[in-house]
Amino acid sequence: MEENSRGISPRRSKRSTVHKIAAANEPNLFDELPDDLVVSVLCKLSSSAASSSDFINALLTCKRFKRLGFHQLVLSNVGSKVLAVKAKNWSDSVHRFLIHCVNAGNVEACYTLGMIRFYSLQNRGSGMSLMAKAAVKSYAPALYSLAVIQFNGSGGSRTDKDLQAGVALCARAAFLGHVDALRELGHCFQDGYGIRQNITAGRRLLMQANTRELASLLKSLVKQQPNHHHHHRGFNYEQFNCISGSGCSSMSNEPASEGHPVNVFLKEWFELGLGEMGEGLRLCSHKGCGRPETRAHEFRRCSACGTVHYCSRGCQALDWKLRHKLECVPFERWLE
Ligand SMILES: [Zn+2]
Ligand SMILES: [Zn+2]
């Protein structure tokens, strides 16, 4: 490693055993690799590592990996699995790592840190500007989250609600195929919320949202069980590929609609009590959302039972379908 140029240090860590062996067999091929080649290998790693610890552990194997691991190209390629931080593992060093990725122009990191700052750390201004940074690069989850913030006037008062801005942001995210945005926009059209009512257009968007959701659900099912019932699954998979291939080319690139990792972060953050929610503030009742209210009575509640609260029409409709229709007990029945 670098010891060759600096003189061999007498004390080495356990980790450099591999390099000791390499140093014994001259010439040292690893040292002779040009930096840009090592950087491109690390880029592959940062984009595809299964977790942040996989990536960090690789960087810790030697000084050169550690140095080149902070190359702008490597940081800009860090993928969603590496950025998927657990709320209980949040620390200053995780925060700094995200900042490094943001500074390298990593859009996913901009969005992730933006959401964490806005909702968890309650630093609304910098959270929003980070999300805006991702939104101008057409990152759909950021466009959608900014839409939710505009619809609710989050971080401000009721009068800060800007329905037209919400619809415009939502439409851009929906155009990019974001399922939650398609659903939200569909309900806006159906209800005439922030836009002139158009029930047909609303229904069409909701159907599109459902189709995409079903497609990614099927895809995740296929991924989960690649070997069991091989013939049966194989047949379904081929059939599904035909549908998605001919129907919409961008569909095959859609992530499964299990929500963005940062939604899991927010939910854990507040449920584990790592961040305090203000008096009387509530989390969105849709399990996959994790957005908290930023002021009292910010979220819409179920008009039938009044016991659940949602950040958006999209979350309400989805939770109704998944869960709440079985649990909703209207007021009148409570009184009996
Ligand atoms: Zn929600
Ligand atoms: Zn209800």
pLDDT more than 70, % of the chain = 80
CB 166 within 8 A of CB 194: yes
Domain contains 44 = yes
Question: CB within 8 A of 154, min separation 6: which ones?
Answer: 118, 124, 148, 294, 298
Q: Which ligand is nearest to the CA of 306?
A: 2
The answer to the question of residue 169 being in a domain is no
* Residue 159 pLDDT exceeds 80: yes
156 pLDDT above the threshold of 50 = yes
- What secondary structure letter does DSSP report for 74? H
Range of the domain at 299: 261-335
In a domain, 45, yes or no: yes
Spacing, Cα 315 to ligand 2 middle (Å): 13
The answer to the question of residue 50 being in a domain is yes
Q: Which ligand is nearest to the CA of 293?
A: 1
Domain boundary, last residue among 15, 48, 68: 68
Nearest ligand (C-alpha, residue 151): 1
Half-sphere exposure of 59 (CA within 13 A, CB side): 22
Question: In angstroms, what is the span from residue 8 Cα to ligand 1's centroid?
Answer: 57
Contact between 60 and 89 under an 8 Å Cβ cutoff? The reply is no
User: Does 304 fall in a domain?
Assistant: yes
Angle, in degrees to the nearest 10, between helices 107-115 and 124-136: 150
Compute the distance from residue 222 Cα to the ligand 1 centre, in Å: 28
Which of 15, 50, 68 is the endpoint of a domain? 68
Beta carbons within 10 angstroms of residue 280's beta carbon: 9
Check the CA dihedral 119-123-129-130 and report its sign: negative
Residue 142 in domain = no
**272 has a pLDDT exceeding 80:** yes
What are the pLDDT digits (tens) for 160-219?
999 999 999 999 999 999 999 999 999 999 999 999 999 999 999 999 999 998 898 888
Give the ligand whose atoms come closest to the C-alpha of residue 319.
1
Query: Is residue 122 in some structural domain?
Result: no
The number of folded domains in the chain is: 2
The residue from 18, 35, 68 where one domain ends is 68
Q: What pTM does this model have?
A: 0.80
Q: Tell me how far the alpha carbon of residue 44 lies from the centroid of ligand 1, in angstroms.
A: 34
Instruction: In whole angstroms, give the CA distance from residue 336 to residue 321.
Output: 26
Average pLDDT of the chain to the nearest whole number: 84
Q: Retrieve residue 138's tokens.
A: 């057409």
Ligand 2 mean position, distance from CA 322 (Å): 13
Q: Residue 295, Cα to own-chain centre: how many angstroms?
A: 24
Neighbours of 224 (CB within 10 A): 9
**Six-digit token string for 12:** 């080495």
The pLDDT-based confidence of 7 (bands split at 50, 70, 90) is very low
DSSP three-state, residue 122: coil
Residues with CB under 5 A from ligand 1 (ion): 284, 286, 289, 291, 311, 315
Whether 291 maps to a domain, the answer reads: yes
Find the ligand nearest to 320 CA: 2
| Span 107-153, pLDDT tens digits | 999 999 999 999 999 999 999 999 999 999 999 999 999 999 999 99
Q: Give first-to-last CA distance, the chain, whole Å.
A: 78
326 C-alpha to ligand 2 centroid (Å): 9
